[in-house]
Amino acid sequence: MRMAILTSDQMYNKQNVPTFNQLIVEFAIHRVERDKSKSVFTIRQDKEGYISLKRLFVSHVVDDPSEASFAEAIFGDVGYWLKVRTQKEIKGYLVTWREEADSIRKSLAFKAMIQEVREDGKSSFSAAKYLIEEPWKGRSRAVKAKVTKTTEDAYSSVLDDKKRLQEAGMLN
């Protein structure tokens, strides 16, 4: 098992209260009572001397939308993350970071479907149909029905052509 980036001493004060905001340089700067020398992370993409919490979050959440692998890798504790992710300072950033992770995940899924179609894999028809119908665009039922019929007609035509070519001995 990998070690978490942070130790318990970094994550909690002597009264066992989470010190999450102190760990992020931008949040520590805005609070006089906080000691920014204890900051480890930046909420930015890059900031010299700090680890980008955004990069860590997005890279983990692309593969694990539950955020558990992120919490384990950074804090070694999902419970800690569940507590601190509700703090008002981080909430807005998380919305944006989750959207970014979702976009990357969808991009990977589309690439996999397109590859399946190109390689004529077992699921190529389903993948092609999904890509043609574009259900993520929220089309009306009439448009969906028309696209489905067009897809099925095209597939039927291809099967007919394949059968004719096989019968003519031009295709195995």
pLDDT top residue among 131 and 104: 104
Residues 129 and 75 in one domain: no
Q: Residue 1: is its pLDDT beyond 80? A: no
Average confidence score pLDDT of the chain: 85
Single residue among 70, 100, 130 that ends a domain in this structure: 100
Residues 147 and 92 in one domain: no
Q: How confident is the model at residue 37 (pLDDT cuts 50, 70, 90)?
A: low
Residue 114 lies in a domain: no
pLDDT top residue among 66 and 46: 66
* SS3 readout for the chain: CCCCCCCHHHHECCCCCECHHHHEHHHHHCCCCCCHHHCCEECCCCCCCCEEHHHHHHHHHHHCCCCHHHHHHHHCCHHHHHHHCCCHHHHHHHHHHHHHHHHHHHHHHHHHHHHHHHCCCCCHHHHHHHHHHCHHHCCCHHHHHHHHHHHHHHHHHHHHHHHHHHHCCCCC
Residues 93 and 12 in one domain: yes
Residues 15 and 93 in one domain: yes
pLDDT at residue 29, rounded to an integer? 66
Residues 95 and 124 in one domain: no
Q: Which domain covers residue 37, as residue numbers? A: 8-100
Residues 12 and 92 in one domain: yes
Domain count, the chain: 2
